[in-house]
Amino acid sequence: MTFNTVIFDFGGVITSSPFEAFNRMEAKNGLPKDFVRSVNARNPDDNAWAKFERAECSAAEFDTLFAAEARALGHELDGASVIACLSGDIRPDMVAALDMLKSKGFGLGCITNNVPSGKGAGMAVSDEKAAAISAVMDRFDHIIESSKAGVRKPDPRIYAMMCAALEVKPSQCIYLDDLGINCKPAAAMGMAAIKVTSGDQALNDLGALLALTFTPLGV
């Protein structure tokens, strides 16, 4: 198989996973581990989280809607606390990989489920972090943000939109995401999908598909 395009999720792939931040916040507040994920897993196409990622509600509305969903599951947690966890730390090795791929002529896309909160596509909480994320985003040939497109993963339409924008067939693409549910539609379309569990694993799997070696920074 000949690939000419690599499409990345952002949070949990280019940056550290927000799930790690969720777990720290849950522990601090005496909540069950993965409670935020359990709330967001219920009614996944029409809950507060889904509406926020499609920009169908404001941050204030999400705060109220999420709190009601959490309360229905027996715990008190406001949506604002969840939003504060969203912006992860940039993984330098992944950015170096983007540069290597670009230097070798690969097309680069980013499909990110994000919300209309914070600063920029990465939902940064500071101008400094927003600038750093913007510099990473500049490496992509095309970016689709769910909060701007009004459609979110795993809706197959968002992957088709990326292929159309980059003028490629799914079979020419590799797709990386930290959620298996988001990898499935990409694979069903014909993309080679990589479920990301860590930066090192992602680059090893990507390198195997492309017959490339991504050397970690500092090695």
Q: What angle separates helix 92-103 from helix 199-210, to the nearest 10 degrees? A: 20
pLDDT, one tens digit per residue, over 41-95 is 999 999 999 999 999 999 999 999 999 999 999 999 999 999 988 888 999 999 9
User: Quick check: helix, strand or coil at residue 145?
Assistant: strand
pLDDT digits (tens, 9 = 90+) for 86-111: 888 999 999 999 999 999 999 999 99
Whether pTM exceeds 0.85: yes
- Where exactly are the structural domains of the chain? 5-17+88-210, 18-83
Q: How far apart are CA 66 and CA 88, in angstroms?
A: 21
Does the domain spanning 18-83 belong to CATH 1.10.150?
yes
Q: What is the pLDDT of residues 183-213, one digit of tens each?
A: 999 999 999 999 999 999 999 999 999 999 9
3 state DSSP class of 121: coil
Per the structure block, which two tokens stand in for 74? 């027996």
The answer to whether domain 5-17+88-210 has CATH 3.40.1410.10 is: no
Structure tokens given for 37: 């994920």
Per the CB < 8 A criterion, the answer to whether 34 and 22 are in contact is yes
